[in-house]
Amino acid sequence: MNLLKGTFVACLCAATLIGCDSKKKDVTVSSVNETAEIVHTDRIADLSVEKVKTTLAYLTVADSFPRNISQGQKDWNLVGVTDWCSGFWPGVLWYAYELSDDPEIKAGAEKFTAPLKEIAYSPADNHDIGFMVYCSYGNGYRLTGNEEYKTVMLAAADTLATLYNPKVGTILSWPVMVPKIGYNTIIDNMMNLELLFWAAKNGGDKSLYDLADSHAEKSMQYLVRPDYSIYHVALFDEKTGKFKKGITHQGYADDSMWARGQGWGIYGFAMSYRETGKEAYLDTSIKLADHFLERLPEDGIPYWDFDDPKIPDAPKDASAASLIACGMLELADQVKDKDLKEKYTNAAKSLMEKLESDTYFSGDTNEALLLHSTGHLPNNSEIDVPIIYADYYFMEALLRLEKLEQNIAQN
């Protein structure tokens, strides 16, 4: 299925993948750690692709997308195209195709990407257009070069840009929440800047770059706290642009550290550095990552919120872990210092090692790849269940690790 398997599995064992675990004891001590890690991730990548293919076979309606699996159930609960999570399933399929080169999976990815077109051409009602379109069309365009995908992405970027308020200098994240909480910008929104940066470089209006950069600047200024934890939501006066306060929506408390929010920040600022070269973004991502690592519990997977007083009996969030594994790998790509590269790569590998364990990797339990994510605990929804974006970032991290190992093998 991939280069790594050819290189390592062939020399370790000609038998089944499971047989590799016993064989690896035969290799020399100096190569054990590296080899064991690679074989493990490679086996999980195989299993993940297989599982995604099985799910694809029973999902027949292209405009219904997996979102979560209820406690005790095996099958995905499906949502429609306008749900903020609709882009993750086509994204999972594109990643599975990238890992496997399987034409059936590619056909599935195309099938589930197509319905998201309407998001690009409908009035913007939230910032999630980036998640929806970049994870689906973005990966599709990256892997196929299909010009129609590019057209949809450029339209989606323009649609997302309509939510930009020049007075505040950010994108309004949740228009629907304005009557209740006022003008709001959330940390999750950092991820959607990637669509704007991409569009500015690929035929879209150059102002999309400035708009994304301004959003990142303001997020850095107001959503990042002095201790390098993050507010979920920043509220602004939309007429004067003045920052009012930081609050939470999905976290435990306004001043608590919501795990996934920390992840959106780590990844979002590393990506913004990649796109702008602004050292302040890189420095912010580093400090957010370090703060996360300092507070990570001993078992290596974050609780849904680091300040929930119920810890250690609070639920975990595997989605934060897989997202942060990707953020750490993006950060490792961006830092120049060799020790820092190693530090964030190892942090990502450690998160992935835990996620690949029987505790988190679902195996035969249900259709998802990962168990134990927490979506919106204060709303009493999606608590300790599989959620599609956990799988999406898990697949992304598997791919990133595979590419990293291929580079090492080639150099």
Is 188 near ligand GLY (CB under 6 A)? Answer: yes
Candidates 409, 405, 389; CA nearest to 84 is: 389
Q: Which is nearer to ligand GLY, 218 or 260 (CB)?
A: 260
Annotated binding-site residue? 248: yes
Cα(147)–Cα(150) distance, integer angstroms: 5
Geometric angle at alpha carbon 312, from 311 and 315, rounded to 5°: 75
Collapse the DSSP code of 315 into the 3-class scheme (helix H, G, I; strand E, B; otherwise coil) and give the result.
coil
Q: Which is nearer to ligand GLY, 8 or 303 (CB)?
A: 303
The catalytic residue among 42, 46, 128, 317 is 128
Do residues 319 and 260 make contact, with C-beta atoms less than 8 angstroms apart? yes
Q: Which is nearer to ligand GLY, 141 or 267 (CB)?
A: 267
188 annotated active-site: yes
307 annotated active-site: no
Residue list 227-256, contact with ligand GLY (CB under 6 A): 250
The catalytic residue among 26, 42, 46, 188 is 188
Cα(268)–Cα(281) distance, integer angstroms: 9
Q: DSSP assignment of 170-232, as one string? A: EE-S-GGGHHHH-EEEEGGGGGGHHHHHHHHHTTS-THHHHHHHHHHHHHHHHTB-TTS-B-S
Q: How many residues bind to ligand GLY according to rule CB under 6 A?
A: 4
Query: Quick one: tokens of 397?
Result: 């991290």
Do residues 408 and 349 make contact, with C-beta atoms less than 8 angstroms apart? no
Is 117 near ligand GLY (CB under 6 A)? Answer: no
Q: Which is nearer to ligand GLY, 250 or 334 (CB)?
A: 250
What is the nearest approach in angstroms of ligand GLY to the Cβ of residue 127?
Answer: 9
Of the candidates 260, 291, 372, 400, which one interacts with ligand GLY according to CB under 6 A? 260
Cα(231)–Cα(342) distance, integer angstroms: 28
- Residue with the closest Cβ to ligand GLY? 188
Annotated binding-site residue? 276: no
Is 396 near ligand GLY (CB under 6 A)? Answer: no
* C-alpha separations of 153 from 86, 212, 267 in Å: 15, 15, 21
Cα(374)–Cα(390) distance, integer angstroms: 10
Interaction mask 372-391, ligand GLY, x per CB under 6 A? ---x----------------
Q: Which is nearer to ligand GLY, 262 or 345 (CB)?
A: 262
What is the nearest approach in angstroms of ligand GLY to the Cβ of residue 57?
Answer: 28
- What does the binding site for ligand GLY look like in residue numbers (CB under 6 A)? 188, 250, 260, 375
Catalytic residue ranges: 128, 188
Annotated binding site: 128, 188, 246, 248, 260, 264
Residue set of the binding site for substrate: 128, 188, 246, 248, 260, 264
